[in-house]
Amino acid sequence: MNTLNDSNGLFITFEGVEGAGKTTNIEYIAEKIKASGHEILLTREPGGTELSEAIRELLISKEYPEMHITTELLLMFAARSEHLNKKIIPAINEGKWVLCDRFTDATFAYQGGGRGIPETTISTLETLVQGTLKPDYTFLFDLNAEVGLARAKNRGETDRFEQQHIDFFNRVRAKYLVMAETEKHRYRIVNAEHDLSTVQIQISQLLTEIL
């Protein structure tokens, strides 16, 4: 049962620093959940609707290297408001399992831990946009930030975030680990430094508990 209503829908989010293999692993998880008979919605943040994807372009584009951190924060929540109201909430209400690549914990990690915006400021916007809605489960793909960033850079062209200094990503990772420790009931940590097959064994074990 989810935090939103008494439908059979569920809201699962996926977090981690760049290069943690989120995309590949989410696809693996989506297949497993579908195979167990649940209807899913696979989506991402920032993005997930036409308007939110347009906001994503503004956020990750290197055309705006000097974007003010408050502007960045508000754009993240603007994209989220649209995504949540138009796509995520209706899908949960229809009983779907919503699998979302990043959500508000990314804001606490990147804009909070990374940029230094106070947690209370982010919490205020969280309440405004989400009310009490939170993910039912959050998978954290955890790995050394330097290893992750090197993997991400190997993939090709970098975006505005991937150009940040390694210290930024170390703070992001540290914030994720604090949240995982504070909200143990919701978080499932996957050690993403291992090879893919070992990571998938870990994922299968964690999914058995949920499914």
Residue ranges in 70-89 that form contacts with ligand TMP under rule CB under 6 A: 76
In the complex, least distance from residue 160 CB atom to ligand TMP, rounded to whole angstroms: 8
45 binds ligand TMP (CB under 6 A): yes
Q: Measured from the CB atom, is 40 or 60 closer to ligand TMP?
A: 60
Q: Measured from the CB atom, is 95 or 131 closer to ligand TMP?
A: 131
Structure tokens at 74: 């508000």
Binding residue for ligand TMP, selected from 141, 161, 169, 187, defined by CB under 6 A: 161
Type of residue numbered 11: F
Binding residue for ligand TMP, selected from 30, 42, 58, 60, defined by CB under 6 A: 60
Strand-pair partners of 137: 12
Type of residue numbered 84: L
In the complex, least distance from residue 209 CB atom to ligand TMP, rounded to whole angstroms: 25
Structure tokens at 201: 């064994």
13 binds ligand TMP (CB under 6 A): no
Question: Distance between CA 63 and CA 159 in Å, rounded?
Answer: 10
Contact 134, 89 (CB under 8 A): no
Q: Which residue has the tokens 């330097």?
A: 146
Question: Distance between CA 7 and CA 117 in Å, rounded?
Answer: 35
110 binds ligand TMP (CB under 6 A): yes
Q: Measured from the CB atom, is 38 or 86 closer to ligand TMP?
A: 86
